Amino acid sequence: METDHDESDNCDVPVDTTLGVSSDNFDESGERKRKKVGRKAHWIQEHKKYLRNTGQSYVTYTSSKVRRARQVQPPCSNSCRLRCFEKFTPEQRQALFRKYWDLGDIEQQRLYIAQNLDRVLPKYDRRTPDSKRFLNTAHFFDKDDGTKERVCQAFFLNTLDITQKMVRTIQGRMENSAECTFKDSRGGHQKKRLVSSASLPLSTV
């Protein structure tokens, strides 16, 4: 009895067992290539880090919060005893701001801050051995002629648009170790750059 099927339906058709497997997944020797997992995520994280370290606006990697771009903040008030606002023009402050953020590296930025801090030794140090108080610190900025000009803390922080916490972290490292490092230790274990605190100048009052 004839059937409605064509004779070709009864032919043995070879089955392609590689169906759905792209040849792009194998190298020339036939070995399966290893997937480069997380490359895109790593690039995004590094890009956000670059934006943060150069003072640009960015979105945080974990909480997706938008961080504003850094910019020069208003100088200290007219009541400042150092009269910092008279020592630097807006253009000079902008140049200092750009010099700091153009470093683009947290280690170099911390080193920049440390080089512009001067520990002030009082005539009588009344701190107890277990005291957590820091020594008084003087803040400085470079003038166009290469000299350093002392400024108040508010003027220093506002010119660079950084927080007091940043400065206190550096103060702590300078005081608590004979050799302090400003390396960003998050996520890495590379060789640290050491700066001897003994090489930093001291002032007396």
Contact status, residue 170 vs residue 150, Cβ threshold 8 Å: no
What element of type H or E holds 142?
A: strand 136-142
- Predicted TM-score (pTM) of this structure: 0.66
pLDDT tens-digit readout, 112-131: 999 999 887 666 556 565 65
Binned at pLDDT 50, 70 and 90, residue 194 comes out as: very low
pLDDT tens-digit readout, 50-79: 999 999 999 998 889 999 999 999 999 999
* pLDDT score at 19: 47
- 117-121/66-67 β-pairing: unpaired
Dig out the tokens for 35 from the structure.
Answer: 């997937």
Residue type, 164: Q
Position with higher pLDDT, 182 vs 46: 46
Average pLDDT on 191-201 reads 48
